[in-house]
Structure 1
């Protein structure tokens, strides 16, 4: 049946395909220079048919796909030039070139219908030329712009380049987060859309940074600029499933207020860990490379999408206020509370034995983020920023694990709690002193504290030989306190000397100071509620780690023709001390060179090559020289003699985009080699006659030379032929690294290959259908064994706007998982569908949706490390059927 359906879809697609006629050619000026981004608009004489358009590429070429037999009026326009008109009868394909002449009239006297205009680095899309009224959210609008893509994670790309800042009427929307914007801003509020390449929020810094950022500015319609608008939705499903959401916006000339809220138990996450990282604070892009923002203890907020029970509460409030002509104040508050329950089955294959394990987990995660940003502009050549961000999380994790090793079973209950607070304050200053000299500085202060408590309880002994437990108790109960306090103070000063338009010299000075305290205490609670403290047997840490980094950098950047080069180096003096029972102090000078080369053939074809020698330091926990528990089967001891990691990082990236040829090509190659690095060594209790105890692990950290080497590559190709887009993704990762297991040094190799092949229909008045297959092949080789995994995933996605007011969305994916070594093969299918209705003249909308239509019970996956290979079944939410009603304000 499924094969027949696919055949019918292909038959219909190629039937429609055969009814198209191609008109192509070039647009040039009177001097025969190609005119990129000129508008070529096709208006059928039959006004009931849709307008078609094309935009010329960098060589001035255009291509139009027109309905066979139509009589079409072609208009060609470009800002500052006289428009041309041409009538074409689409009986067969033809080629037609146009020459535009400069207009002698002033621009405000000319009325030109231009869907897309380009001025410098800014591309403006006239939204009304692309939409038909069926769009619900901003993402539906953006998907109709040529060269614009929106993926399922809310990431927006324009001609293959990622949008890094999302603005609404020139102001950052929730800190510039694209997902919250595209998923929640109503389509009927969107006016024109601007895309700004090489964006910098400080105008006079543009061109000085190598971050290559891109911003998208959503201009609201005039009737939305002094208005409250938005939408609310509520849905009820089978088995007590529910969903409610609200997106409310108030915009006035000097005050903007945005609220987003969502409550559901369907597994839908408005805010993910990936989104959290985009709210991790930051400074201007010119300081890129000098700051390293980390997730820290907040990484525990990241929960799986695949759960059996899920309750999500999310609220976000964003306010911006123009206080005076020189002072802007903005801030946002974000709250997220998730309650989830999950169930996972693992089959773990160690070198000498196997383990069957089940994990039942309940998580309650609360996260709050508050951000205040003050922007002061005393004049057009100076800018100040005062930023404060506070984050707090309170998480609990309750887990029951059943481990079965060679018929010996053990049940361990684990309760973990985390309370963490993060405060970041920074002051940023930029000054354009003259045409040749620009100065920037930033001062940042960070406080990051976390308190973690763990409680393990089991009827059977665990970690025998590794912990000094009294096993004569009815229950083995172990408690752990683990606290971390970190303070970091950074100061960076930059001087930009522009010798001329093609030659720049950049100078950097700075200092970073880190002070980190790490504390652990492990103890056993006895049956009489007294405690057996493990401190007398080498447990318990109280470590202070200080690191001071004084650095200076000098870089020279020059341009010649299509080439841009930047080379230089940073000189670092690292001074660090580890204070526990004894104090260890070290000092080291390190030179870190870097190189950047860009070849820009035109705006849509570029090559970038860069190289960096990089260094990082471990955190205090790895310097702690006394034992502490990591899990029910592992004990860790740090190493106070560790030094910095040092590694080479090189990358080459090629991009090409052509609307005329219908091609989008991106290729990258990344190489990393770790000259020296820290890795955990592992010792198993292999001599223990009790097989059920052989999963016990003692880990410590050790510095190795030539630790690892990694080569990654990826090619993404999209090619449009007529009204069908073909997609090809190919990737590989070849890595090798050394690992010490039971005092034996071994080399592990990890080779992964994957490809995805798909095609997508783009016909007018026809469903948008994407059909493809993804295949991933993984091979992990250690000194003792080789494991090979293959996952094959055919998929279908359908988006269909029909009968003017209906929208149908469907996605289907089948996963075929194979473990070649164990001769295992598992298959599951996931399908979701949505049918929505909204009359253009009504504020009400209605939606019927189905998630996990085939009621799949679990997903199959694999993972591997130096000493264990795991096959995993993750159980998921059942089929959910839901009816929703929405209302547009």
Structure 2
């Protein structure tokens, strides 16, 4: 302990002893007269047009830059330029030397020689963006081609920004953003897809990308930098209230009514800011941030998933590589209300209310061609599924400034979710089963946070967190799988999870360095009950109580030295686990001292690019779903069981990232390679037959590893007026398992995806967009032949704008799921005609989707033991007329 205190004291002493220049000087003419109001700018290079720092001389012709301003540049050399109308500009090159505390730079400017010049007309384009310190403001009108309806469509077009089309997650500069604010107000929190999916393009003037974002104003400049966010700057005429109503009606090819209607309302005033949306559709669109079709988790769910209980009986995941709007046969009603009430300068209240109801239907066929050891056989499941989710949710956030230097925050969430899933399964083309899964999910969360700003450079936070999740499930299947005399089997399963945490966080910053230290404790209780039975007998039961407690200390220190940023961090935990198997009267307990170090290195190559390296070591506990002993029935084929273990999983991770975002030259490049190795994992022992699959999870101190390589390069080519983008992803996974009483097998999965995007920006009425994607997968087990699949798809769009009032787009999607079976091809055609009068108060559009009327889609998936042919039905062809009124 003494050594740690000594090390910390030494770091503080070194930090305060480091010096850096202030730059001062004067500007005078050749007659030694001072020149006031001269512009003094600092640039990275002599020819650069980008201004890093700016000031003007005073009435005496003097100027200065502070230490903090110079240090914020993180540059070892700079160019200082003096500019004044009617005088020749002068540039001087300066070396930033930490040993010199002060630099004085004086300029003597000469008058311009006046000559008679011929008239020159300069024609140039207005910049699409503006850079100001940590913020880049993109002008929305410069990044639209007329096809964009919601602000998410525009965000996808911004350089350096990527949007996950499945989850809505936004990545900026290689990092997931914290939130999307509305004129600086954090109305949506981590559920920012509520705004990006529903706010109209016409409401927004600029999209601001913000580096070093800090929601808490007391921590601005103190907390660790690196957080990123987006801010939607509304148009000046968006006052009091504005919004739109959309009525969409049409018909499917089967004479069924097609509908997509919605309304939004944005209210802004000095006391209230709110956003409301109501929608209904049955054409496959998900207006909510919750994905009940493919169960992709949104950014908010990703941050909170450690507080959720586990679903042992999963609802059907509708996996499909084509777009959601083609495969999601839905009837969704969604309503949401978000508001910030500014009661007074000290007190504000934020509310978020949600309601969702949906009915999703699908017909899916799974054909598995197994090759296990020396056995070769085929299984089929033809399933007819109806999923009916319903969710109620309310959030409350209260912020109260108890003083100018302290802030008290309270957050509350209540959520009730119910999902009913009736299913009919035809197994192996002979046996028919009817199943019904009912899942209820109640979640309660509250969080109390107090922030005290101790000084301009230090702050203290105290927090208390509590959450509770109750997740009962009931699964029934008719006829019985276990007894031909019984009518049905019933599987009951209920996980609960209670989480408590209290912690204190100390934050500080020096001239260049920042640090954060946390001390706290948490407690997790996760009991589980299950019972599998029919009218004749109880087949299987589980009853366990699992508790986990941690006393922890974490710390991170950011050293900023010139172009280097060095960030060592650590986590120390005293971990206690206890697992009681109540049915067999068995108890396991384990205590561990856990030390987890990490290191992040970042080197700034120039103002637009950097290199970053990360390495770390973690020791993780296993999730509760591996702790029940006896079998649990999850569908018409599968039962799962475990051999519980409280041993920790040790993992090492290494990564290297190169990032370049040169907005001025419209060039972006990022490349990343990472490696992760985990020792101590739960492996699978599978016993697969033509009618059943029994899976047992067991712990072994063996290794699994994963390599991942990603690259994206984008460039605007002026002479062809086009943006080109190449994206490549490759993963290599090594893992072990046991199948049908084999030895422990070594397996390897490889996956490669290459995508090439080309979009034109001709100053003529017609433009084009094309995306070509090639995918390759290879799964292999030792002493067995590989399962290989190659596929590709191409999306082509023609965008035609004969005038500002009319817009026409035709697109085609072509899929070849398996290059070895070229007869299985799929072609989708869509078209949209849109009219927008000059007033923009109303508009109309006519949409045709799936004109070729493809009714089913088929894909091939490979694993270490099988090739799976998956087929699902799609939304039929439909025609839709939309009328829009903006107010």
- Normalised-by-shorter TM-score class: 0.7 to 0.9
Instruction: Please tell me whether residue 648 in structure 1 is matched to residue 652 in structure 2.
Output: yes
Paired residues of 2:179 and 2:191 also in contact (CA < 8 A)? yes
Q: 1:509 aligns with which of 499, 505, 519?
A: 519
Greater mean alpha carbon deviation, residues 605-614 or residues 712-721 = 605-614
Instruction: Please tell me whether residue 264 in structure 1 is matched to residue 291 in structure 2.
Output: no
Q: 1:657 aligns with which of 657, 661, 676?
A: 661
Q: 1:415 aligns with which of 436, 439, 446?
A: 436
Cα drift, residue 449 of structure 1: 0.4
Instruction: Please tell me whether residue 123 in structure 1 is matched to residue 122 in structure 2.
Output: no
Paired residues of 2:680 and 2:700 also in contact (CA < 8 A)? yes
Q: 1:521 aligns with which of 520, 531, 544?
A: 531
Find the aligned partners of 1:476 and 1:211 in 2 and give their Cα distance. Answer: 62
Partner of 1:773 in structure 2?
Answer: 772
Q: 2:868 aligns with which of 857, 863, 870?
A: 870
Please show how residues 158-557 of structure 1 align to structure 2 within 5 Å. Answer: 163-206=177-220, 212-238=226-252, 239=255, 240-271=257-288, 272-273=290-291, 277-280=298-301, 292=306, 296-297=310-311, 300=315, 305=324, 307=327, 309-350=329-370, 351=372, 352=375, 353-404=377-428, 409-458=430-479, 462=481, 469-471=482-484, 473=485, 476-498=487-509, 500-525=510-535, 531-534=536-539, 539-557=540-558
- Per-residue CA deviation, residues 824-847 of structure 1 (Å, 9 max, x unaligned), is 852112232221111022522111
- CA distance change for structure 1 residues 235 and 600 in 2, over 3 Å: closer, same or farther? farther
Find the aligned partners of 1:194 and 1:358 in 2 and give their Cα distance. Answer: 49
Find the aligned partners of 1:802 and 1:825 in 2 and give their Cα distance. Answer: 38
Paired residues of 1:760 and 1:771 also in contact (CA < 8 A)? yes
- Per-residue CA deviation, residues 344-392 of structure 1 (Å, 9 max, x unaligned), is 1121022221112211111111122211111222344322221111221
Partner of 2:844 in structure 1?
Answer: 846
Find the aligned partners of 1:144 and 1:634 in 2 and give their Cα distance. Answer: 44
Partner of 2:827 in structure 1?
Answer: 829
Cα drift, residue 664 of structure 1: 0.8
Paired residues of 1:812 and 1:830 also in contact (CA < 8 A)? yes
* Number of equivalences: 764
Paired residues of 1:552 and 1:572 also in contact (CA < 8 A)? yes
- CA distance change for structure 1 residues 643 and 366 in 2, over 3 Å: closer, same or farther? same
Partner of 1:715 in structure 2?
Answer: 711
Cα drift, residue 422 of structure 1: 0.6
Paired residues of 1:543 and 1:620 also in contact (CA < 8 A)? no
Paired residues of 1:308 and 1:875 also in contact (CA < 8 A)? no
Paired residues of 1:134 and 1:801 also in contact (CA < 8 A)? no
| Structure 2 residue ranges without an equivalent (≥5) | 1-40, 53-72, 75-80, 87-108, 111-124
Please show how residues 599-610 of structure 1 align to structure 2 within 5 Å. Answer: 599-610=603-614
Find the aligned partners of 2:714 and 2:138 in 1 and give their Cα distance. Answer: 22
Please show how residues 65-84 of structure 1 align to structure 2 within 5 Å. Answer: none
Cα drift, residue 158 of structure 1: 5.5
Find the aligned partners of 1:158 and 1:575 in 2 and give their Cα distance. Answer: 38
- Per-residue CA deviation, residues 300-328 of structure 1 (Å, 9 max, x unaligned), is 59656464742111111111100110111
Q: Output the aligned Cα RMSD.
A: 3.4
Find the aligned partners of 1:521 and 1:601 in 2 and give their Cα distance. Answer: 60
- Per-residue CA deviation, residues 784-831 of structure 1 (Å, 9 max, x unaligned), is 3421001111221344433111222333221112275xx685211223
Cα drift, residue 439 of structure 1: 1.7
Find the aligned partners of 1:749 and 1:553 in 2 and give their Cα distance. Answer: 36
Find the aligned partners of 1:113 and 1:649 in 2 and give their Cα distance. Answer: 45
Find the aligned partners of 1:30 and 1:453 in 2 and give their Cα distance. Answer: 65
Find the aligned partners of 1:760 and 1:113 in 2 and give their Cα distance. Answer: 21
Find the aligned partners of 1:417 and 1:544 in 2 and give their Cα distance. Answer: 24
Cα drift, residue 264 of structure 1: 1.0
Paired residues of 1:759 and 1:770 also in contact (CA < 8 A)? yes
- Per-residue CA deviation, residues 47-79 of structure 1 (Å, 9 max, x unaligned), is xxxxxxxxxxx99xxxxxxxxxxxxxxxxxxx9
- CA distance change for structure 1 residues 220 and 429 in 2, over 3 Å: closer, same or farther? same
Cα drift, residue 340 of structure 1: 1.2
- CA distance change for structure 1 residues 452 and 834 in 2, over 3 Å: closer, same or farther? same
Q: Secondary structure at the match of 1:180?
A: helix
Q: Secondary structure at the match of 1:796?
A: strand
- CA distance change for structure 1 residues 759 and 484 in 2, over 3 Å: closer, same or farther? same
Partner of 2:564 in structure 1?
Answer: 563
Find the aligned partners of 2:862 and 2:144 in 1 and give their Cα distance. Answer: 48
Find the aligned partners of 1:251 and 1:488 in 2 and give their Cα distance. Answer: 37
- CA distance change for structure 1 residues 175 and 808 in 2, over 3 Å: closer, same or farther? farther
- CA distance change for structure 1 residues 635 and 259 in 2, over 3 Å: closer, same or farther? same
Find the aligned partners of 1:83 and 1:233 in 2 and give their Cα distance. Answer: 58
Partner of 2:752 in structure 1?
Answer: 753
- CA distance change for structure 1 residues 604 and 801 in 2, over 3 Å: closer, same or farther? farther
- CA distance change for structure 1 residues 357 and 388 in 2, over 3 Å: closer, same or farther? same
Find the aligned partners of 1:753 and 1:181 in 2 and give their Cα distance. Answer: 33
Cα drift, residue 299 of structure 1: 7.8
Find the aligned partners of 2:690 and 2:146 in 1 and give their Cα distance. Answer: 64
Cα drift, residue 698 of structure 1: 2.7
Find the aligned partners of 2:216 and 2:679 in 1 and give their Cα distance. Answer: 38
TM-score of the superposition, structure 2-length normalised?
0.80
Q: Secondary structure at the match of 2:237?
A: helix
- CA distance change for structure 1 residues 83 and 721 in 2, over 3 Å: closer, same or farther? farther
TM-score of the superposition, structure 1-length normalised?
0.79
| Structure 1 residue ranges without an equivalent (≥5) | 1-26, 39-57, 60-78, 85-100, 103-111, 284-290, 463-468, 526-530, 685-692
Q: Secondary structure at the match of 2:643?
A: coil
Find the aligned partners of 1:447 and 1:847 in 2 and give their Cα distance. Answer: 47
Paired residues of 2:709 and 2:730 also in contact (CA < 8 A)? yes
- Per-residue CA deviation, residues 528-564 of structure 1 (Å, 9 max, x unaligned), is xxx4222xxxx20111100111112243321111111
Greater mean alpha carbon deviation, residues 212-221 or residues 673-682 = 212-221
Q: 1:705 aligns with which of 701, 705, 708?
A: 701
Q: Secondary structure at the match of 2:645?
A: coil
Paired residues of 1:788 and 1:819 also in contact (CA < 8 A)? no
Q: Secondary structure at the match of 1:621?
A: helix
